[in-house]
Structures are given as structure tokens and as C-alpha cells.
Structure 1
Amino acid sequence: MLELKKKARDKIKFEPYSLLNEIKNRVNIQQEEFGRIFSEEIIPSLEQENIYLVDDESFPAEHKNFLENYFLEQVLPFTRPSLLDKNKIATFLHNKAIYLALRLKVKSETQAKRARYKYALVEIPAERLGRFIALPGNTNNYVMFLDDVIRMFLPKILPGYNIESCYSIKLTRDAGIYIDDEFSGNLLAKIKKGISKRKTGVPSRFLYDKKMPAPFLKFLKESLELSKDDLIAGGRYHNYNEFFSFPDFNKKELEYEPLLPLHCKELDDKEATFKSISNCNILLSFPYQSYNNVINFLEKAADDKNVKSIKITLYRVAGESQVVRSLIKA
């Protein structure tokens, strides 16, 4: 909508830029509230259970050797810094990956006097190593973000530089699939082509640590060819969804009890599925009811010689999807 010309904008009942600003303001308010809950409620609650989330400055000193060995053996092989130069081709950031953005100065005195700051990015290899590292010990349970372990040993990644400052960033790319003409040509081939471009889509949201100085942010914006509308201020850490993999330290009593899916008695008999749905409409609500009912229905449809076609809309199926397997079987 931002790219609409004035004539087209006059036909809609709102101003796209005003709407975008309103959305960003609401997002900022929500992120502030999220940060407050995390720091003022969740962290203290964890500490009451002897679980301490520590960073590169607050970790217990006795764990330094463990962390250094872990970094050298596990982390360093997967870290590859890339220097930024806004006068060259923009560095490509992977979709939703976390990076540490660094401001550097060369260590050589002669070069340092005449050289300007340099900037670099280091990707956090969370997909390979996980986001959290549980520190060894029997009394208190200490855990660190992988980000902070890397922060501790940045000089080992860039030995020729002094690390002046370091901030976390994350870029989200447009994952939409745009097909101009759905009716001509091979639609499946067009969808496949669209899916292949999702990881390289145009930037739609650039999340950065709000403590980052304005000149630093300006350099990143220009180097990564971002627009002002892409920029969203955040906190020190991103991708909080990875807390699903937070160590439990065998404290099962702190976890929610699993909710067993409710049964649908009309569909309990797999062989009578078609008869049941011909007798009455059946509404299933997920995840409160078992999705096995849908799987069973599709499997039965795939095996039934009287079924002429199966039409279904799929959105974000699993890597090993039973639904897709049933459709392929059909």
C-alpha cells in the first residue's frame, strides 16, 4: 500500500503511512511490556527456583574455563565474521537469524590513528548448537544465551581488532508468495518458484538493540540497504520463541501438565468415519481435539475407491507431514 500512487490512495479510506506508524507504535508498546514481564517477573521467578540466566559479565568466574573450552571446540568452527562496507555489495542476512553487529578498530597503532571505525557481523549459530548453554554444577543452575558466550570471546574471532561495541540484530524477510497470474502456465511450478524465494525475500522488519547509537544504526541501515520503515527497536536478545528449548534442569514440577486432546466419540470408530459425517456436521477445534481424526479421515479417503477427488487447503505443514503422505498416497 505504501507504493500506491496518490490517485489510488485517494480511493482507500486511510493513509498507509499513518497506519504503518500506528502499527509500529503498538508493536513498540507491546515489546516494552514484553521486556518488562521478562525482566521483572520471569527472571525473578526463575531465581526463586535456583535457575539463573547469566550473561557475559555476570557469569560465575569458576565457569570461565568451561565456557572457553566450549567456545573453542563447539562454537568457533561455526562462526565466520563478515566485514561490512556500504560502498560494496550489501551483505546478505539470513531470514530470522540473529547476528551480533560489531564496531571495530584495528589494533595496529599506526593504522588505528588514521583508520575509521570498521563494522562487522557475526551470525549466532543457534540452529546448529541451540540457543542456551547450561553451565555445570549441582547447587545453583546457571544458563547462558549462546549470544553471550560469543560476546565473551569475540577477540578470538577477530584477533586483529579491538571490539568497541556489540549489539544484537535480526532481519525478517517478506515470506509472501506473489503469483500475478494463477490461471495460465503451471501453477505448481510457480508456487515452487515462489517458495524458493521466501528465504531471500525483501527485508520487511529489522530488529535492533535500542541501545545502539544512532550513527551505528545509520551505518547498518545504509550498508544493508534498509528503509526507515523496516527499523524496529528491540532489546538485547531476539527470537524469544527459542525459550521452548530452555533447559528444564529436571524440574518437571515447574512445567505445565500436558493437556490430553479431547475425543470426538462420533469419529472414534475409524471405519465409520464417512457414515458419521453423513449423519451430522462435526466441528473439531484444534489443539483441543485430536488431529488424528483428520489424519484418519484423509487416510480412509485415500484408500476408498469411491472417492474421486480430495480438495484441501494446506498452510505450513510439517517436514514429515502425515497429511501430505495421505494425499500422495491418494
Structure 2
Amino acid sequence: MTAKDGELLNFESYDFDPTFGFGLLLTAFFLSFGSRFFHDLLDRLYYAKKAKQALTDPEIYKQGSAAEVARFVRDYEIDEFYEDYREKLLEDPNVYGFSIEEVHHKGGMEKGVVLYTSLDKINRDIFNYKLNNKIYKIPHEVRYQDGPIDTTSVSLSDEIKNKSTKLTGSIGFAVEDNTDKYLITCYHVVKHPEHRWEFFGTALQEEIMIDKNTIGKLVDGKRDHFAEGALIRVDASQNIDPLYPNPSHKQAFKSINTDTSSLKDRRVKMYSRQLGKELIGTIKTDRFSGAVKYGRTPFKMYELIKIEFDEQPQRKGDSGNALLDDQNNILGLIIGKKGKYSYAVNIRYVMDLFQNKNLKLM
């Protein structure tokens, strides 16, 4: 440090902290055991850090043994990996999905991540992370998929549709606020071509029809990376029950699920308009992120519900149907299918789209 003319050098004072010296002695003590011991110690500290992060999750206190706590911390690492990489991986046009599911690992099945792609070969190093010269591998599988989730609809006599379009689908369920009653379905089955996905203009309200009869007007519609939904206002005198593909199905609705716990392995059901019967299946994961085909343009969506129905997936034209659990709680809205699997948006995210309205189940 150089003093200018007429100035004195100003030395900053430093107060010695005894804990600093103790830290140096402790580090020297550990280093005396050799590099291998020191690396193992760092590994344990890294694990402890993950455990500390996991401790912020109330679920950890439900674990009944040390082994269960260890598994919980490992699962926490997989969740973090999924959160960090889902958006990056879906930037690749040949990657159509990334999810948390059960995978084959070390001779058994356990929680891991699944990459869905049309590529024959990928660099699996993305599933590795290096810590102190050791390579750790996230349990994973790579599965072939030839394209995005399909939302294509077909025309049936009882479809719900926009008067100005050929798009069709199904009614989800009815809600009401203090003054009006509405039907909720997927936006893509009633969207007018001039409507923007990001913003709904009230001047573009369109008549919504079932079997050539106008049932109401589309008053709101939205889509984000977690859900899509449409709100159809119906006349106060309109009897809604006959509008459902299966009128008795409406009577089963118990509540709109707001529970944030995992839906994995939950037994579910939905009524298929085209098949004319109830489909029963199992949720494979509620953490599927992937490309959904809206017209010609795939769109990234996160935290979709992936369902495998026992007999067959839903048919085209079932978009908008309510997905129920075995207690008749509404878990989601069906949006499309791919191969043997059906996909739904989580109803929590659908209701978030209309959170400015005080909606309740009718």
C-alpha cells in the first residue's frame, strides 16, 4: 500500500479469533490420517449437508429407522437432480419426457429418473456427479419415445366444443362462485384459434356447445408450464347433470384434491366417453415433465400425472375428463396420451389458474 504525499499509511487492525486457530489444528489433525481418510470425511460431510437440507422436509420425521432416513436422504438427492435438470434436458428437441419413476437398479427396483427420447444413444454422464474423485450415479433408465404427448381430439355426439372450431373434448366438473356456475375442462378442447395461450381476452368470448346446443360461454382460459384449463359460464337455470357423458359419474365427485403429498401408486378412475365405460388404473408418477403436442407446436409441461389404465388408455376425445381416486376426489384433468399411458394435469395447478375466483365444487 503506497501513501500519498501528506498521508500516513493506514494499517487495518485484525483481531485474532481463537476458533480460527482451533480450526487450523483440527484440519491438520484430519490431514495427518492421509488423503483417503480426508476424502471419506468430506463424503460424509456432503451426505450430512444433504441430510440437513432434507431435515427441512416434515416427511423425514415420519421415517421409523436409520435405514429409512438414509433412503429418504437419497430420494431427496434424486428429487433435487430432477428439479435441476428437467428444464435443461427438455431443451433438446429429441427429448420428450423426464420423470421420477421406479427404475431397475442393482438387481431390484427403486426410485430414480427416466429419460424419454427418440435418440438411439445418449451421453449417460449426465446421470453422474463427481465428489472427491468418486463418481456417484443417479439411478436411471433411458426409454424410447417417438414424439410428444398427443392431445388430438375426435368428434363424438356428446363432445364439448367451441362453436367456431372443430376441437372437441369432455366436461371435467362443475364449480360455482358467489354469483355464477361454471364448467371446467381443458383449454385446448374449447380454445378459439384467435385466443392466445398466455392471455385470455374477454372480448373473444365464444359460445360453447354440446350436441349442437349452446350450453354457455368461454369466459376464461389459460395455460402455463404446469396446467391448462378453461372456465365456461353456464346459465343459472341450466341443468348441468345431463351435460356429463355419464350423468351418474357427476354424483361421484367428493372434493377437489389440494393435498400436496405424492400421488404415486394411487388407484384412479375416469369415465371414457368414447368407450362408454369407466377406466381404472394406477398412477405411475405425478412428476412427469415432457413435451405436449398442441397442434404442430410441442409445449413443455412439468409435474404431469402419468397413468397406466388396467385395460387400455383413454381414447382421443377424452381430454378434459376428471381423474378421480378411489375416494372420488378429483386429482386432475386428462390432457392426452402416448402409447399405453395417459396423462393428466394436476388439479391443484388447474385451480391455481383461476385462483382470483372463489370457486368451489358444486
Between Structure 1 and Structure 2, whose CA radius of gyration is higher? 2
Q: Write 1 or 2 for the structure with the bigger share of helix.
A: 1
Q: Write 1 or 2 for the structure with the bigger share of strand.
A: 2
State TM-score, norm by structure 2.
0.22
